[in-house]
C-alpha cells in the first residue's frame, strides 16, 4: 500500500503543474496534495491488478478519480454546504484561498480528471469510453451530487432508513463502485467480475460511511483532521442518529463480512483489500 501511495502521490504532483493563472492551479494542488489515505486510487489499481491487468495503465484513471474525490471535499466544505474550516488537518480550500476560487478549483478538477483519462491513458478508445462513463455517472446527478442534494435537503427533517441508504450510497459508495469497476474494466475483466466489484464497492462504501458517522461522534480532531460533531449539531441524517452506536457498529461488521464473501466467491485474494477491511473494523470496534 505504501508503494502504491508513493506512486499515486508522485503522479498527482506531476499531473497538476502551476501555470497561468497560477491561483487556480495552486488551489487545485493545495487540496489534491494535502494528504489523505488515497483509498480510491489504491482500490482502482488493486482491482486492476487482482483481475490480471497492468496497474501502470490504470494510474491516470486512478489519479483522475482522486481529483474527483478531492473536488467533492472542496465543495462539501463550502459555507453553502457543510461549512467547515478544516480538512485533513489543514484549512479548507475556501479558507486558504477564497470561496470563489474554491468553487472554481472544484469545477476544474472534475474536467481535469476527464482530460487525464483521455490524454494520459494508454488504453483502447472503447475502454476509455467505458471508464469515462463510470466517472461521469459517479460525478453527476446520478452519483455524488444526488447524495449531496438529499443530504442537505434532509437537515432537520424526520429520519428514515431508506433515505439514509440513498444518501450514503450516492455520497460515498458510488465513487467506491466506480473506481473498482474502472480498474476491472482496464483489466478486461468479465461482466461477472465487474458486477462483483460493483457489489464489493457498495458494501465497502456503505460501511466506510457508517464508520465515518461513528467516528464523528467518538473520535478526535487530531485523528480525523476535521471538525467533529457538526453533523449531529446540524441535524444531519446519519446512521448513528437513526440507529445508535451499537447497531451502527453491528451494521458495519455485517457489511464488511459480506465484502469478504464477495471476494472469496471470485477467488480474489488481496492483501490490500483485506487491509482496508481490517482497518475499518479496527476503527469501529476499538
Q: Which domains does the chain have, with CATH numbers?
A: 2-285 (1.10.600.10)
- By percentage, how much of the chain surpasses pLDDT 70? 94
Return the minimum-mean-pLDDT range out of 8-12, 92-96, 148-152, 155-159: 155-159
Determine the pLDDT at residue 230. Answer: 60
Residue that wins the pLDDT comparison between 220 and 135: 135
Segment 125-176, tens digit of pLDDT: 999 999 999 999 999 999 999 999 999 998 888 878 999 999 999 999 999 9
Exposed/middle/buried for residue 162 (C-beta within 10 Å: 0-12, 13-18, 19+): exposed
Segment 175-194, tens digit of pLDDT: 999 999 999 999 999 999 99
Determine the pLDDT at residue 157. Answer: 83
Report residue 12 as a C-alpha cell: 498527482
Q: Average pLDDT over the chain, rounded to whole?
A: 93
pLDDT at residue 232 tops 80 = no
Residues 6+ apart with CB under 8 A from 53: 183, 184, 186, 187, 188, 189
**Mean pLDDT over residues 24-51, rounded?**
96
Q: Give the predicted TM-score (pTM) of the model.
A: 0.94
Residue with cell 493545495: 30
Determine the pLDDT at residue 224. Answer: 55
Residue with cell 481490517: 278
Amino acid at each position: 500500500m505504501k508503494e502504491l501511495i508513493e506512486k499515486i502521490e508522485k503522479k498527482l504532483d506531476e499531473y497538476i503543474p502551476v501555470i497561468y493563472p497560477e491561483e487556480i492551479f495552486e488551489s487545485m494542488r493545495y487540496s489534491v496534495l494535502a494528504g489523505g489515505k488515497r483509498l480510491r486510487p489504491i482500490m482502482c489499481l488493486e482491482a486492476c491488478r487482482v483481475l490480471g491487468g497492468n496497474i501502470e495503465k490504470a494510474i491516470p484513471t486512478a489519479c483522475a478519480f482522486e481529483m474527483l474525490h478531492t473536488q467533492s471535499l472542496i465543495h462539501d466544505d463550502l459555507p453553502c454546504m457543510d461549512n467547515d474550516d478544516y480538512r485533513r488537518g489543514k484549512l479548507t480550500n475556501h479558507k486558504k484561498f477564497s470561496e470563489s476560487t474554491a468553487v472554481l478549483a472544484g469545477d476544474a478538477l472534475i474536467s481535469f480528471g476527464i482530460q487525464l483519462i483521455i490524454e494520459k491513458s494508454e488504453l483502447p478508445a472503447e475502454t476509455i469510453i467505458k471508464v469515462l462513463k463510470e466517472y461521469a455517472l459517479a460525478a453527476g446527478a446520478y452519483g455524488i451530487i444526488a447524495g449531496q442534494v438529499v443530504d442537505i435537503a434532509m437537515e432537520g427533517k424526520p429520519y428514515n432508513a431508506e433515505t439514509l441508504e440513498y444518501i450514503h450510497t450516492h455520497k460515498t459508495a458510488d465513487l467506491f463502485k466506480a473506481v473498482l469497476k474502472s480498474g476491472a474494466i482496464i483489466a478486461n475483466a468479465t461482466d461477472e467480475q465487474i458486477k462483483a466489484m460493483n457489489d464489493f464497492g457498495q458494501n465497502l462504501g456503505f460501511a466506510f460511511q457508517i464508520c465515518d458517522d461513528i467516528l464523528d461522534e467518538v473520535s478526535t480532531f487530531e485523528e480525523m483532521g476535521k471538525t467533529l460533531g457538526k453533523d449531529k449539531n446540524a441535524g444531519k441524517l446519519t446512521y448513528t442518529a437513526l440507529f445508535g452506536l451499537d447497531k451502527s457498529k453491528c451494521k458495519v461488521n455485517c457489511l464488511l463480512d459480506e465484502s469478504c464473501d464477495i471476494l472469496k466467491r471470485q477467488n480474489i485474494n488481496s492483501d490490500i483489500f483485506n487491509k482496508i477491511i481490517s482497518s475499518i473494523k479496527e476503527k469501529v470496534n476499538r
